[in-house]
Amino acid sequence: MLNQPEQLQKAVEELDRVVGKERLVEESDIPNLSYVVACARESLRLHPIAPFNLPHVAKEDLTVAGYFIPKGSQVLLSRLGLGRNPRVWEDPLRFNPERHFKDNSHELGLAEPGLRFISFTRGRRGCMGGTLGTLITVMLFARLLQGFTWRIPPELEKIDLKENDRLFLAKPLHVYAEPRLPAHLYPA
């Protein structure tokens, strides 16, 4: 978001409007922080927790989306490919939180019912902690945005988000964080 300061500013303004600067953001604030949630969702879409889901084995011959999958085949879903698929997402490599709002409204939930990207596995053997994991991610993100003013070091023009072959940043992340709340809100 530091590479797109207008989006960072919108998220911080939403936090200031909903939560203010005299207390820390709480779980009960999350339903009123639609832009912050959209930013977290967009981050998970572009940079999934893991590149693939756990492998599954086809119990019988089947055809999915025109592809024949023989019985016994291992099936993997590329979370990275799904979240960056240009047939699903317009301008898929651009960070754009607004794409998660329904019909230009600010209505938004934590789940992805259309399965256009997957943060946690779904279905009968899906991740039981998906909702909790998403909530913890949003809370951490909101607290970091609320608690600090973030800046790119002066010697850098922008943050390089290129990934290595293991999906980690190819270069270390260097940013400045300056406290923006009253001192008593920070643990000693």
What residues form the annotated binding site for heme? Answer: 127
Q: Residue 23: what residue type?
A: R
Compute the distance between CA of residue 79 and CA of residue 125 in angstroms, rounded to an integer. 17
Quick one: tokens of 82?
């799904």
Query: Which secondary structure element, helix H or strand E, spans residue 11, and what is its range?
Result: helix 5-18
Quick one: tokens of 129?
């902690």
Known binding-site positions: 127
- Residue 33 is classified by DSSP as -
Three-class secondary structure assignment of 71-122: CCCEECCEHHHHHCCCCCCCCCCCCCHHHHCCCCCCCCCCCCCCCCCCCCCC
For residues 98 and 38, is the Cβ–Cβ distance under 8 A?
A: yes
